[in-house]
Structure 1
Amino acid sequence: MEFLDQILFYPIERLPFFLITLIIAFTLHEFSHAYFANKFGDPTAKLLGRVTLNPAVHFDLLGIILLLIAGFGWARPVPVNRANFSNPRRDSIIVSAAGPLSNLLLAFVGCLIYAALYEFGALSAMSNDRAVDAVHIFFDTFIVLNFFLFLFNLIPLPPLDGYRIVEELAPRRIAAKMQRFEQWSILIFLLIILIPGFQKYTIRPMYETAYSFSVFFLNMFTSLFGG
């Protein structure tokens, strides 16, 4: 147990809740990419069986391990052929944004349900204290992690969705230059994220921001339900 506590980014007692959250968050994230790509005319993901809510299809083992150890990770990327889109730039932006926005939606839904359970007395009506603690930990984990995934995936560095959005928004001349340096950008990104000394300037601030979002929106929804 002590060994796991030392290597894991998250407290070990919260590990089951993180894993449940990841199953939901990663699955909907990648499904959203695949769904909108297919909707806009690119059947690549559909032909590979990615337009599905089956978690096994979307998970990447290394990405999950890194998320648990380093605080960041990934699912299996959805292949997209923008040449199949009727409006490649617009459709590519929507497809790229669909993933992070799905995590934002999950965070909002989590806030809404959590606030409703609290304000309508469902938690206080539970007689088992351990069950109440589990509900608190789950929603806290679910909301913060989904806000974090929303922010993290909007970082404008490859291979993240934020980079694809910026690439499509940039003038073609600049986008061409970005593509030439893409392989090196990925290496720089991994070094910045993986080097422990940099994490307090990268991963930690995003988690703190995600936590601030969760507090703000929980208070907002609680106020709405409380009248």
Structure 2
Amino acid sequence: MEQIFLKISIMLVPALLAVTVHEVAHGYAADRLGDPTARLLGRLTLNPLRHLDPVGTLALLFVGFGWARPVPVNVTNLRHPHRSMLWVALAGPTANFTLALLSALLLHLVGLIEGLGLAWLNVVTHPISLMAAFSLYINVILAVFNLIPVPPLDGGRVLAAMLPIRYAAMLMKLEPFGFFIVIAVVFFTDVWHNLLGPVIIGLVAFFAGQQWSVVEAVIHFLFSRG
């Protein structure tokens, strides 16, 4: 039980921040491009309670990826609906990649501080290092996962925005079934093992650099069954 609480203490803040910033980025981009829906509904806030999906949050903590309640976007309010959705869709993964980069920088900074040999600082630097490592990992996961080109994921909306309107409309007909398609592909094919997993680990290792061993140890601790 103590180990479970330790894992949750490492994961909770980075996970909540990752999904919250993702959704706020969508809403902010939409607001800037002409649709005030998210702002009027009070969704342009970093208060995670306004964005949480209970099932998605549990999945994030126990499976390694999850989701929040999508920020509503009224496409017809956008100044250039077809083209603007590209930027609205890209805003979420871009925000996660930005958080991943900031987490990596924090991880490197903590590594430099710990390299000074000031043992009395470990009580502060050690938990920050663990949370920064998980933040890097979870933000890369969310960015890559959401770029899968199947609606309603962001990648599907990006693809639709890049297609001619006729073909975009055909693609968006998949939206009611898209989530089930993605789950089926991730859990019942080798796509995660052979493609998504290596891409995610490669990006995390690239961002982490010399701190990769720290991230690897944190991932193993959090998701091992032992």
The 8 Å contact of residues 126 and 132 in structure 1, kept in 2 or not, is answered as no
The 8 Å contact of residues 140 and 203 in structure 2, kept in 1 or not, is answered as yes
Partner in structure 2 of residue 110 of structure 1: 103
Unaligned runs of 5+ residues in structure 1 are 6-10, 220-227
Partner in structure 1 of residue 182 of structure 2: 189
Query: Where in structure 2 are the equivalents of 1:140-151 lying within 5 Å?
Result: 140-151=133-144
Query: Where in structure 2 are the equivalents of 1:59-208 lying within 5 Å?
Result: 59-120=52-113, 124-127=117-120, 129=122, 131-195=124-188, 199-201=192-194, 204-208=197-201
Unaligned runs of 5+ residues in structure 2 are 213-226
2-structure distance, mates of 1:218, 1:93: 34
Cα shift readout 1:63-94 (whole Å, capped 9, x = no counterpart): 11122333221011011111111122232111
The 8 Å contact of residues 158 and 189 in structure 1, kept in 2 or not, is answered as no
* Alignment RMSD: 2.8
Q: What's the % identity of the aligned pairs?
A: 34
Q: Give the length in aligned residue pairs.
A: 212
Q: What is the deviation of 1:201?
A: 4.0
Q: What is the deviation of 1:190?
A: 1.9
Matched, 1:23 2:16: yes
Cα shift readout 1:157-212 (whole Å, capped 9, x = no counterpart): 12211111111101122112212233333322122234497653466335423432
The 8 Å contact of residues 144 and 200 in structure 2, kept in 1 or not, is answered as no
Q: What is the deviation of 1:106?
A: 0.9
- For normalisation by structure 2, the TM-score amounts to 0.81
Partner in structure 1 of residue 222 of structure 2: none
